[in-house]
Amino acid sequence: FLATMLALSLPFIWVGVVLTLRRLRAVRLPLWLIAVFFLPVINLAFFAVLSVLPSREKEDSASRSQIRGRNTLLAKVIPDHALGSAAMAILLTLPVGAAATGLAVLAFGGYGWGLFVALPFCLGLSSALLYGYREPRSLSSCLLVSAFTIVLLGGALVALAVEGVLCVTMAAPIAIVLALLGGSIGYVIQNRPLHQGEVPTMILVLILTPPGLMGAESLSPPDSQRFEVRTAIEIEAAPETVWRQLISFPALPEPDQWLFRLGIAYPIQSSIEGRGVGALRQCLFSTGTFIELVEVWDEPRVLKFSVASQPPPMRELTPYSEIQPRHLAGYFHPEGPKFHLTGLPGRRTVLEGTSWYRHDIWPTAYWRLWS
C-alpha cells in the first residue's frame, strides 16, 4: 500500500517542484527555498507569498531605495533606525499573534497545525519583512527580531491569562524554531528589490493564512492517535503482596522531581469499592480524582481497568490565583491501564504496566514528547 501511494505521489511531487522552482526564478529568490515545498502547513503560507510576489526582469540594484518607496503608510510608521524598525515590527505583529491565538483557543477550540506551526512561521516571516522594509537588514538581526516576537507573544499570553507558564514553555521550542525559519525566508525576501505595494500585500496574506488553517481544522479535525506506554519493574515481594498494594495503596510522599513541582499531576493515594470485574477504583491525584472501573480481575496475575472520568492533567503556573486554559479539559484522554504480575523465584515479582491514551493536540510527533 505504501509503495503504491509513493508511486502515485511522485508525478505530483515532480510537478510541484518544477512549478515552484520556476516561480522562484521568476521572482528572483534563491532556489534552495524549494526545501520549504516539503514542509507541511508551512508550505501553504510559502505558496501564498510566492503567489503575490510579481515576476520581474532584472533590475538595477542602485534603484533599490526608489523601488521601496518613501510615501507609503508603512514607510511613515516604520523608522529608518534599525532599533526603531525592530521595535515597530514587533509592535505590529504582536497584537496579530495574540488575536490569532485567542481565535484558535477561544473560538475554534483547536490546538493544532494552524496554532503551533503556521502562526509562528508567519509571525517570524512578517516581523522580518517589516523590520527590513526601509532597508535590507542582516540575517542575524532578522532572526533575532523573529525569535523575540515569539518570546514576547508567550509573555503576553501569560499576562492576559490565556495560557500558563508551563504550556508556553512546552510550546516555545517548536514555535521559536518555526519563527526562525520564517525569519530566514523573510530575510531573503527583504534583501531583494521590493516595490512599495509588495510588503503590505504579503503581510496581509500571512495574517490571513493561520486563521484560515485554524478554521479548516475546526471544521474537519484530524483523528487522534492512540499511544501505548509500557513500564516494567522487579519488586522484592511475592505477587500476592504486590497485588494488594496495586488495587489500593495508602498516601504516598510528595514527589521531588522538578516536573511534578511545576504542576504535572501525580498520584497521592487510591481506594477500591468491591472486588472483581465492575469494582470501582478511585485514584486521588494532585489535581483531582480518577474514577476507574475494573474490567479484568485475575488475582494475582492481571488487573485491567478503564477510566470513567479524569481530573486535569496539570495545574498551570500563572501569576494569577488560578486559570483554566481550554487544553486542560477534553484534550488529553487516558483510556486506562493494564497490570501484569509475573512471579519469580525467591518471592520476587515482575510488575509490568501498560497504559493507553490519546491527545487532540498537533503536531502529534512533537506533543507526544511532552504527553
Q: Render pLDDT for 217-241 as a digit per residue (tens, 0 to 9).
A: 999 888 888 999 999 999 999 999 9
Q: Is 6 exposed, middle or buried (0-12, 13-18, 19+ CB in 10 A)?
A: exposed
User: What is the arithmetic mean of pLDDT over 186-211?
Assistant: 87
- Chain centroid, CA 252 distance in Å: 33
Backbone phi and psi for residue 76, each to the nearest 5 degrees, phi listed first:
-80, -25
pLDDT digits (tens, 9 = 90+) for 252-288: 999 999 989 999 999 999 999 999 999 999 999 999 9
Q: What is the pLDDT of residue 31?
A: 92
**What is the maximum alpha-carbon separation in the chain?**
87
| 205 neighbors 106 (Cβ within 8 angstroms) | no
The band of 196, judged by pLDDT with boundaries at 50, 70 and 90, is: low
Tell me what the pLDDT averaged over the chain comes to: 91
Tell me: pLDDT of 371 over 60. yes
Q: Are 20 and 3 in contact (CB under 8 A)?
A: no
The predicted structure's pLDDT at residue 192? 80
User: What pLDDT is attached to residue 75?
Assistant: 83
CB 291 within 8 A of CB 308: yes
Cell of 156: 503576553
* Percent of all residues in the chain with a pLDDT value above 90, rounded to a whole number: 78
Output the DSSP codes for 79-137.
Answer: -SSHHHHHHHHHHHHHHHHHHHHHIIIIII--BSHIIIIIHHHHHHHHHHHHHTSSS--
Q: CA-to-CA distance for 143 and 128, rounded, in angstroms?
A: 7
Q: Which residue has the higher pLDDT, 198 or 128?
A: 128
pLDDT at 58 > cutoff 70: no
Q: Averaged over 53-59, what is the pLDDT? A: 71
What is the structure's pLDDT at 348? 96
CA distance 356 to 352: 14
**CA–CA dist 263, 259 (Å, integer):** 7
Least confident of 323-327, 340-344, 355-359: 323-327
Buried b (16+ CB within 10 A) or exposed e, 293-320: ebeebeebeebbbebeebbbbbbbebee
* Whether pTM exceeds 0.95: no
* 230 touches 352 (CB < 8 A): yes
Whole-angstrom distance, CA of residue 161 vs CA of residue 323: 7
Task: Quote the pLDDT of residue 71.
Answer: 61
